[in-house]
A and B are shown apart, each in its own frame.
Chain A
Amino acid sequence: MGRLIAGRMVRLVATLLLVTFVTFMATSLLPGDPVNALIPIEAQQDREFVEQVREEWGFNDPLLVRYGRWLGDAVRGDLGDSYVTGRPIIDEITPRLPVTGELMVVTVLLGILIGVPLGLVSGYREGSRADKAVSAVAQFGLSIPNFVLGLVLIYVFAIKLRWLPATGWTRISDSVTGNLKSVAMPAIALAVAEVAVYLRVLRSDIISTLKENYILSARAKGLKDRFILFRHALRPSSLTLTTLIGLNIAGLITGTIVIEQLFAIPGLGRRLFSAVFQRDYMMVQGLTVLLAAAYVIINATVDFIYIAIDPRIRRRA
């Protein structure tokens, strides 16, 4: 097992290096001169001044040197300064991280809490009316883009019923109920698709597991149906579910960016957006690296968890 994990670790580090390098390269090989983003248009004719700025920002060094320097800084938490605000990127990101984090965690929890029982029931009662209803709802859930769902929620709960705020964010440290109110609609808008995916995968997994011979032999042993379902069927299926949640993180990151924009939530996604519209290259680069790295690391973690809980893999290595 140690060897397996070491192999995955090497792969993880390699992927991270590649991702950061590609992101860095893209910024450096831009058709335009990044310096232009730093200097007002009037000053761009002043060659001496431009050269001075280039030297100051280190744009004149060879590419690999600059990558090395940038990476060294990045590892130490310094992703550079925003071209627009001039503040360190990391300082802008830090307060936003818990907001995005909370949104994602709540979404995944909602997805598990609703998706797993539904998937279990509809898989167990395959072909029943309940199963068909759940499957139809899941099909709809997968077919409604999250921003559309968000709009519908805003229309119903914020505009018509006036129960929840349409936009904005209350920090949990300021008010727990306020925080819950502000996380409710965004999380639901994101969670519906997650629920649909989880339950569909779990359902088909349960169905095929229930056809396994070991389920038949468990029945022949005289075990109760419910016991078989939870002890013998759910456990192998939960392995798939773990991987799935990991794989879905990429989609969730995308979804969070969209939903933060729609609900005006001050998270990483919204900052990325404003950076895009302001052409704040450094900020875009920093956030891209951060999100891609987070995605790669989360996936690797899921892999490790998978190794840890599946005895077949655990022993094979």
Chain B
Amino acid sequence: MPAENASTPGTGPVAVSAGSPLLRVDDLHTSFHVAAGEVRAVRGVSLTLDRGRTLGIVGESGSGKTVLARSIMRLNIGGNVSTSGNVEFEGRDLLDLPLKAMKNLWGTELAMVFQDPMTSLNPVVRVGRQLTEHVRSNLGAGRGEARQMAIDLLREVRIPDAEARLRAFPHELSGGMRQRICIAIALACEPALLFADEPTTALDVTVQHQILNLLGREQRDREMAMILVTHDLGVVAGRTDDTIVMYAGKVVEQAPTRVLFTEMRHPYSEALLRSIPRIGQRSHTRLSAITGRPPDPIDIPPGCPFSPRCPYVQQKCREEPPPLVAAGDGAGGASHLSACWYPVGTDAGRDAFARNLADRLPQTVVVAEGSEFAESAAANAAAEATAANGSFEGGGA
């Protein structure tokens, strides 16, 4: 291990064959042991991410997406956490790495931007120090060098009057400004992989857009891989190469982002999409919320975890958990996976839905009303996605 560390003093990707992915996660499980039982937050997630590519992880609150990101970085601390599975990053098995070696990767190889810029900066430490303290300790930069670097970084994230800002305290800056600083901090040591954990959830809508664009630009310019965690399907549309939809700690659908929007297979993905307002809609179109709540992570029901809330639900769904398999013959091909017995947009799905409609299951009524626009919403999003991709992928691919 030490030899390996010495060979990669935070200077980006080296010595890994071009063919292997930057990050490969295999059957990752994370649990928290609390008084009430075992909280199974992540239950067997696998994914791969290539150098310079972007991946979106989408799911509502409690789906385990944040825990997944933190598990990969091994940021879940505390004696009550247990993580199993395999996380391979640049050829190293992160879960087997001694904690000390892992800490050497933090900041330099793996970095994270957190959800709430209000609380992720230390209120009593000046911005300049927070921007460069890890550059100085990780890369051994001198004081003057670090200062210049901080100014450059602030300019890069479009913060005006950079030199004066160095002396500011976080509370003197706006939320968007603070998130820009958090991004600058994460970028400072040129990481190979950046996690953005709901980077815009705490911000105003107008600022959200700017921050996402900033992240996209930096990702492209630096040829850095990025994992964008969000609860908003609209955020990943057009901004990530691939998307994973998570529910109750599992991947329920996985596809290239464009394919996901055009050939959505999982009812949960569909439900997520339906909960986003779209510009193309008539102004008083009803948005449908997903009825019910995610399952209790201590006591996850057998069968498909989404079954209690699913409009397509059948008896089989309640008994047998569906495996994550190739989602048929669509444009996504083998890269489109879905875990559903009665996928959306297939005959099996339509039959299941019709049966439920006939049985007047309560949630089907809501869906029946909304299903028409659901399709149009999907089409809208897909159109937007394609448009955005056109402008986005020019630099990335």
Chains A and B in contact, CB within 8 Å: yes
Contact between A220 and B107 (Cβ–Cβ < 8 Å)? yes
Q: Is the interface of A mostly helix, strand, loop or mixed?
A: helix
Report the Cα distance A235→B129, complex, angstroms.
14
Q: Which residues of A contact B122 (CB under 8 A)?
A: 214, 218, 232, 235-236
Q: Is B121 in contact with chain A by the CB < 8 A criterion? A: yes
Contact between A220 and B124 (Cβ–Cβ < 8 Å)? no
Q: Is B395 in contact with chain A by the CB < 8 A criterion? A: no
Q: Is A3 in contact with chain B by the CB < 8 A criterion? A: no
Report the Cα distance A79→B107, complex, angstroms.
64
Contact between B120 and A217 (Cβ–Cβ < 8 Å)? yes
Proximity string of chain B (67-85) to chain A, C-beta cutoff 8 Å, 1 when within and 0 when not: 0000001010101000000
Using CB atoms, name the residue of chain A closest to B171: A312
Contact between A217 and B185 (Cβ–Cβ < 8 Å)? yes
Q: Which residues of B contact A212 (CB under 8 A)?
A: 119
Contact between A219 and B75 (Cβ–Cβ < 8 Å)? yes
Shortest beta-carbon distance from B146 to chain A in Å? 13
Contact between A311 and B169 (Cβ–Cβ < 8 Å)? yes
Q: Is A61 in contact with chain B by the CB < 8 A criterion? A: no
Within 8 A of A (CB), among B95-127: 103-108, 110-112, 114, 116, 119-125
Report the Cα distance A212→B123, complex, angstroms.
11
Contact between B103 and A213 (Cβ–Cβ < 8 Å)? no
Using CB atoms, name the residue of chain A closest to B108: A222
Report the Cα distance A224→B125, complex, angstroms.
16
Say which one of B55-63, B130-138, B336-344 lies at the interface with A.
B130-138
Q: Which residues of B contact A310 (CB under 8 A)?
A: 124
Out of A216, A219, A312, name the residue touching B169 (CB < 8 Å): A312
Q: Is A160 in contact with chain B by the CB < 8 A criterion? A: no
**Which of B106, B122, B182 has the most chain A CB atoms inside 10 A of its CB?**
B122
Within 8 A of B (CB), among A198-227: 212-214, 216-224, 227
Contact between B112 and A311 (Cβ–Cβ < 8 Å)? no
Q: How big is the B interface, by class?
A: 20 to 34
Report the Cα distance A242→B192, complex, angstroms.
43
Report the Cα distance A113→B157, complex, angstroms.
44
Contact between A221 and B185 (Cβ–Cβ < 8 Å)? yes
Contact between B106 and A231 (Cβ–Cβ < 8 Å)? no
Shortest beta-carbon distance from B37 to chain A in Å? 20
Contact between B106 and A219 (Cβ–Cβ < 8 Å)? yes
Shortest beta-carbon distance from A243 to chain B in Å? 15
Out of A219, A222, A236, A312, name the residue touching B137 (CB < 8 Å): A222
Report the Cα distance A222→B135, complex, angstroms.
9
Q: Is B189 in contact with chain A by the CB < 8 A criterion? A: yes
Within 8 A of B (CB), among A105-138: 127
Shortest beta-carbon distance from A196 to chain B in Å? 26
Report the Cα distance A249→B112, complex, angstroms.
44
Report the Cα distance A222→B103, complex, angstroms.
6
Contact between B107 and A222 (Cβ–Cβ < 8 Å)? yes
Contact between B137 and A227 (Cβ–Cβ < 8 Å)? yes
Out of A214, A219, A239, A315, name the residue touching B121 (CB < 8 Å): A214
Out of B121, B123, B185, name the residue touching A311 (CB < 8 Å): B123
Q: Which residues of B contact A220 (CB under 8 A)?
A: 73, 75, 106-107, 110-112, 114, 186
Contact between B105 and A222 (Cβ–Cβ < 8 Å)? yes
Using CB atoms, name the residue of chain B closest to A222: B107
Report the Cα distance A227→B137, complex, angstroms.
10
Report the Cα distance A222→B186, complex, angstroms.
10
Shortest beta-carbon distance from B52 to chain A in Å? 21
Contact between B123 and A312 (Cβ–Cβ < 8 Å)? yes
Shortest beta-carbon distance from A242 to chain B in Å? 13
Q: Is B296 in contact with chain A by the CB < 8 A criterion? A: no
Contact between A223 and B137 (Cβ–Cβ < 8 Å)? yes
Proximity string of chain B (125-159) to chain A, C-beta cutoff 8 Å, 1 when within and 0 when not: 10000000110011000000000000000000000
Contact between A224 and B137 (Cβ–Cβ < 8 Å)? yes
Q: Which residues of A contact B120 (CB under 8 A)?
A: 213-214, 216-217
**Which of A216, A236, A310 has the most chain B CB atoms inside 10 A of its CB?**
A216
Using CB atoms, name the residue of chain A closest to B133: A223
Contact between A236 and B123 (Cβ–Cβ < 8 Å)? yes
Proximity string of chain A (222-252) to chain B, C-beta cutoff 8 Å, 1 when within and 0 when not: 1110010001100110010000000000000
Using CB atoms, name the residue of chain B closest to A309: B124
Proximity string of chain A (247-282) to chain B, C-beta cutoff 8 Å, 1 when within and 0 when not: 000000000000000000000000000000000000
Report the Cα distance A127→B112, complex, angstroms.
28
Shortest beta-carbon distance from B117 to chain A in Å? 9
Interface residues of A (CB under 8 A from B): 127, 212-214, 216-224, 227, 231-232, 235-236, 239, 310-312, 315
New A-B pairs, 5, CB < 8 Å, besides A217-B114, A220-B107, A222-B189: A127-B79, A214-B119, A221-B186, A222-B134, A310-B124
Q: What are 14 A-B contacts defined by CB distance under 8 Å?
A: A212-B119, A213-B114, A213-B120, A214-B119, A218-B134, A220-B111, A220-B186, A221-B186, A222-B105, A227-B133, A311-B123, A311-B169, A312-B123, A315-B169
